[in-house]
Amino acid sequence: MAKVGPPRARGSYRGRGQRRPPTWEISDSDTEGAASAEADSEAATRARDPAEERRAAAEALRLLRPEQALRRLTVLVDPAILEDAGADILMEALGSLGCEYHIEPQRPSRSLRWSRVKPEPCLKSVPAELLAAGEQELLLLLEPEEFLQGVFQLTQICGPTCSVPWISPESPTCPHLAVIGLDAYLWSHQPNAQEMRRLESPGTACAEVVVGWPEVEEALVLLQLWANLDVLLVASWQELSQHVCAFTKALAQRPFKQLQESKAFSFCTAGRWVAGERVTRDGTGLRGAWWRQIRQFNRVSPAVADAVVTAFPSPRLLQKAYLACSTEQERLALLADLPVKVDGGGQLRRVGPDLSRRICLFLTSTNPDLLLDLSS
């Protein structure tokens, strides 16, 4: 009679010697993680693609150009400025400039700010500080009477320890002041003889009368030294509009200029000549680099450079030849009689004493201020 073994677990085997493959449950979070990982890998692949990087850099450079950046710049104008009759001139100038302007309440009142549109994704490679240039700029318009009251406070009341008016210490902005018609206001409010006698009596103080151009000039110096605060004095809204337009254009140009200045040799453009001649460790390319160096001298043709390089294939060989010379004159004239091949025959040419002297001085002189070319 056969023995009966222990019962097998149902479903634990599928056929002889084969285990049932394990199963897993896929949750929504796993799906999202896989999708995000795939998106990150695609983004990394695009980032590593040199062609894509070049296209993104070219597009970023295009958007940073002044004409494009000006369209992405917004001037925020406080509604209180529009209460003046001459504000229409400013609005017309901003409209013809090509940038946007919005009427929004600003703090402090009667001020203008500049803001940039949210940058494009291709501008992520550009440093954030370049894109934020101009975000902290503010132009505050002051009435002549208000400005003179601040001048009186700066020059006569509090002395050097006085806090600068119109500026909040906790504000991160860089304010600039603008006063329209200050000269005309001072001339129209000059005190007569009777008022001067009244002002000279003790106990009299009137800021809008006693403040004149000497006090204004003193206050301008104090504002520049203490707070690095510029004050724009204009005679009309037309002059103010011209200043605002010029300042807006300068802000649009600032990121592009700073980006160009941050690059090494920003004056170099892409081209075959920029790469120069590559010289390897075994000396390959040295002859071409030496030939290019000879060509950099003034009035040196390719045929003349060929003659020098053929006689001395490297600058080290030429330096050794200079050391073998016994006199200075012999060194200066070492290359003068080298023959130069001219295409199509014709008269025999030589390197000449002038170029021979210049090359000799270039390789042997230790004076950095020495002028090689006497004809320049």
Give me the domains of the chain, ranges plus CATH numbers. Answer: 55-160+173-191+211-263 (3.40.50.10130), 286-364 (1.10.150.670)
> Which residue has better confidence, 191 or 87?
87
- What is the Cα 320 distance to its own chain's centre? 47
- pLDDT, position 207: 42
Token pair for residue 312?
Answer: 């001395």
Question: Which stretch of 92-101, 195-204, 214-223 has the lowest confidence by average pLDDT?
Answer: 195-204
Give the pTM: 0.52
Neighbours of 53 (CB within 10 A): 13
What is residue 143's three-state secondary structure? coil
Q: Using the predicted structure, report yes or no on whether residue 239 has a pLDDT greater than 90.
A: yes
Neighbours of 293 (CB within 10 A): 16
Considering 16-30, 123-137, 178-192, 287-301, the range whose residues carry the highest mean pLDDT is: 287-301
Please tell me the distance from the alpha carbon of residue 233 to that of residue 237, in angstroms, as a whole number: 11
